[in-house]
Structure 1
Amino acid sequence: MALLGKTGDGKSSSGNTILSGKIFTTQCSPESSTAECKSGVAMVGGRTVTVIDTPGIFDTRLSEEVIKSEIIRSITECAPAVDAFVIVLKVGKYTEQEIQILDKIVECYGEDTFKHGVVLFTHGEDLDGQTIEAFVKKSPKLQELVNKCGGRCHVIDNKQWKKRFWGNRRNKVHVKNMLETIDKMVKENGCYTNELLSSVEEDIQDEMNGMDTIHLTPEEKREAAKKKVHKKYLIRFAGVATGTLVGAFMGIGVAVGSVVALLKAAKLPKTFQAIATGVTAASTLASTAGGAATATAAATAALAGAIGGGITGYKAAEEADSVRDAIKMATKANCENAKEAVRKAEQIPSNVYKTCTVYSDRNNFLAKI
């Protein structure tokens, strides 16, 4: 299971509670103590459970390059699939700021993600005797989120309840209930995966197959392979916005398609990469045609632009010494390409745009370009 949520709501502590051990670093602080995605494994109730503790997606304390690095690490940790996304929230008063965070969660997560989502509340001791269901009903926004997750809602207390050895108000009971909920959810909806996670798994397997060492266990080989893939993706995704990566991870279709297209295009021979980059200029013409271009043409242009821009950024960032430099170099290269595309577009007669309306079929439009 992958733990998701905002800074300070207790993801790391929840991971420790679920695994019954001090696997993840926790501390009493208004800032996030998780600046790196980490996974932990333990036997829980007679089964092997893996928990992935992700950095706070909404953590403003971290720099852009650190957040991007950890989102990429989260993707490699979750590949090829996860059983559940556990959205960790805190029992307490929901101010306007908390409501905005809930809106962002609903906005960032794809509909398919919610089919594999479970809401887990921490600080259960603060319920003051009421049930978690009664607490949720007091907030329409909370109720909306829980409803999107199929009504799957649980509560733990990472401090008080872990000291209890009997009764319903102890964490072992609630963790057991949550695992049973996840079992039922997986039986009904399967595991969560998407094309991005599948592509990442292929790269991990390729790295593992390329290792000639015989002194590593399969688990050690996989860890080494994930580190190599993470490093490669830091450069490859240097020109991709962090929000796009989050959207791709959480199953938003457009984001998944653009990021996967970039991964596939980067594997092509350089001749085909040049063609894909050339499509960027052509797609710029199509997208600037306004009313003359069809909606299909505009969508195709956007995807082609993402591929071309991603390759340009990847090539420009290959020589970078750090993630920050890679982002700067990739952005500069794409900016220069965009200026050149616009300059060339201004030199082309306006009647060229008329061809866009003829090729409303996606394949014919691509063939014309």
Structure 2
Amino acid sequence: MNLDSNSATARRDAALDMLEHLIGFDTESSKSNLELIAFVEEYLKSLGIAYVKIPNPTGDKAALFATIGPNQEGGVVLSGHTDVVPVAGQAWTSDPFKLRREAGRLYGRGACDMKGFDAICLAMIPEFLNARLVHPIHILLSYDEETTCRGPLDTIARFGTDLPRPGAVLVGEPTLMQVADAHKSVAGYTTIVHGHAAHSSKPYLGASAVEAACDLVTGLYRFADELVAAGDPSGRFDPPASTIHVGTIHGGTARNIMAKLCEFRWEFRALPGVAQNLALQHLEDYAAQVVTPKLTRYAADAFVETVTEVEVPGLKPESGSVAESLALKLARSNHTITVPYASEAGQFQLAHVPTVVCGPGSIDQAHQPDEYIDIAQIEMCIAFMRRLATELS
């Protein structure tokens, strides 16, 4: 392979061109990604790359799995998602779905999280082809990472059947090209309190859903204090504890009516090794022992229910794994980091495929108005990918 400066510049320009195309597709998680996937399909066809499209059950979104090199077991998956967070309510200084280049930065929704990585993977395919790979490089583009992290599951289920089972996965979420071997799990819930409406002057004729919900929220935050006190035995995470957060609460109809309904949405982010349902179990126990008996004193039909909306597995450290060793070598680093956000990495790890997170850009720019990625990060990732091609050749 020609790795001179002109070639490096050409590959960078190809990645920027690809990023411009990808950002041009509005793939907010609530919308379809099929136009983007169709664009990538045409690109892959033009290069003679074999791929499989895996639609979601409703057919309005799809993942795409492409293989460069021999179609065999092993090799490395480069995994990135195609969906982005909404731009509504954010004060952008330019069109978020049109790439803007300024002062060494690339602006646009998804530039950092994580169409920048996707663009690099796709732009590198010609060099991957020229490398005459002995072990395959697979590219997986998924969906719904920003909402459920379930977008790659149908693809993962096919590993070892009609899709080759990879030896390692590199998830390209923004880490400033450092190798992250761990992150917390995330579980998201909606708790609904069903009370009994009555005139507020006679509380014994009803049951206030608002009162019970407030009691439950208070119980959750007391438990959060216990988690903070327990801390992080590994000493690696910021914040150094499993955390609980209540994001919204809504209930009641008027000041003088005992609320019939109240619901709150909350999340639990658990350290590796902490049960993902720990906070839910605490809430349910507290509801059964304290809140529900009080709620049903005068209204036998009152009750509390919790709906699980999101469960994203954490990523546990696997010191010396194939993925970690390879990524550290390619990143020219001798240490790993943790990241504060969740990703799809845990889904691969649950399927017993060694996985780490390593990608260009900083998470500090993700989800922000005027989201950007530094061009220098694009160049660092291209160099990383070139070393990967050499390693697998």
**Structure 1 and Structure 2 fold alike (TM over 0.5):** no
- TM normalised by structure 2 equals 0.24
- Relative to its length, the structure with more strand (as a share) is 2
- TM normalised by structure 1 equals 0.25
- Relative to its length, the structure with more helix (as a share) is 1
Higher RCO (Cα < 8 Å, 6 or more apart): 2
